[in-house]
Amino acid sequence: MLTTNNLTKTVKLPEQSLTILSEVSLTVNEHDSVAIVGASGSGKSTLLSLLAGLDTPSEGEVELAGHPIHKLSEDERAAVRAQYVGFVFQSFHLLPGLTALENVMLPIELKEDKNAQTKAKELLEKVGLAERLNHYPHQLSGGEQQRVAIARAFASEPKILFADEPTGNLDTANGEKIIDLIFDLNQQLGTTLVLVTHDDRLAERCQRLVRLEAGKVIEDSVNESFEQAKTAETA
């Protein structure tokens, strides 16, 4: 689903150039869930932006759903995103000018799907906001806004969902709900999940854990507790 090869990002500063990410090679399989963890400034967000095609690497390759996105133009990458990718952000990033329903409809409409409204309503029902379809973001609480954002992320039926600190702006109770929601939907819809987080509860729920330090992968492990939970489930 997602492969990187020697992914490197350097930024030129007036004095020297700074390497934010150095030779990261990863492979994420379909239906995987991967947590990228690490201290602030370790390069997590940069890696996420490269994986999702929001930015281009200085060196190395990224292949997303078979597309070599490091070679593509802005618009071509946008087309790949529209086709395969969903996003959930720390600060929700809902469009304040649109209602909850309209926000969720947007990515579906971008795919020129005629049933945008029906699909968006279904998703909002799934995240428990059936009563708040016509509310504007500022009329919703933080947790509710993030639920709308999650509905929007799944609206385009993405093959892969990127989440950047999805619980970062929420209190514990709401954070829990959001985590449940992401994983439930992930399972229902068979999406691949890549998330960047500080939140141990969130990282624990993923199959795989990639730890970054100073731009390098220092750990890439299968999550034991996840394996245990899985085994327990099958048993």
Does 11 bind other proteins (CB under 8 A)? Our answer is no
Does 45 bind other proteins (CB under 8 A)? Our answer is yes
In sequence order, the β-bridge partners of residue 11 are: 18
Does 9 bind other proteins (CB under 8 A)? Our answer is no
Interface residue with other proteins among 3, 10, 31, 55 (CB under 8 A) is: 55
- State the minimum distance, in angstroms, from the CB of residue 39 to other proteins: 17
Closest CB to other proteins among residues 113, 176:
113
Does 42 bind other proteins (CB under 8 A)? Our answer is no
- State the minimum distance, in angstroms, from the CB of residue 225 to other proteins: 29
* CB burial string 121-151: b at 16+ within 10 A, e below: bebbebbebeebbebbbeebeebbbbbbbbb
Nearest to 116 by CA among 128, 126, 127, 107: 107
Does 75 bind other proteins (CB under 8 A)? Our answer is yes
Please check whether residue 188 is in contact with residue 110, taking contact to mean a CB–CB distance below 8 angstroms.
Answer: no
Taking residue 175's Cβ as centre, other Cβ atoms within 10 Å add up to 19
Write out the binding residues for other proteins, residues 76-115 only, by CB under 8 A: 78-83, 85, 87, 89, 93, 95-98, 102, 106-107, 109-110
* Gap between the Cα atoms of 123 and 130, Å rounded: 9
Q: Tokens 């990187």 — which residue?
A: 4
What's the CA angle centered on 131, arms 122 and 205, to 5 degrees? Answer: 60
Does 144 bind other proteins (CB under 8 A)? Our answer is no
Does 189 bind other proteins (CB under 8 A)? Our answer is no
Full strand arrangement of the beta sheet holding 192-196: 85-88, 160-164, 192-196, 33-38, 208-213, 216-222
Does 14 bind other proteins (CB under 8 A)? Our answer is no
Binding part of the chain for other proteins, among 17-25, 57-65, 74-82, 178-186 by CB under 8 A, reads: 74-82
Please check whether residue 169 is in contact with residue 90, taking contact to mean a CB–CB distance below 8 angstroms.
Answer: yes
Closest CB to other proteins among residues 114, 235:
114
- State the minimum distance, in angstroms, from the CB of residue 160 to other proteins: 13
- State the minimum distance, in angstroms, from the CB of residue 108 to other proteins: 10
* Gap between the Cα atoms of 15 and 98, Å rounded: 44
Q: Which residues bind other proteins (CB under 8 A)?
A: 45, 48-49, 54-55, 74-75, 78-83, 85, 87, 89, 93, 95-98, 102, 106-107, 109-110, 136, 152, 156, 164
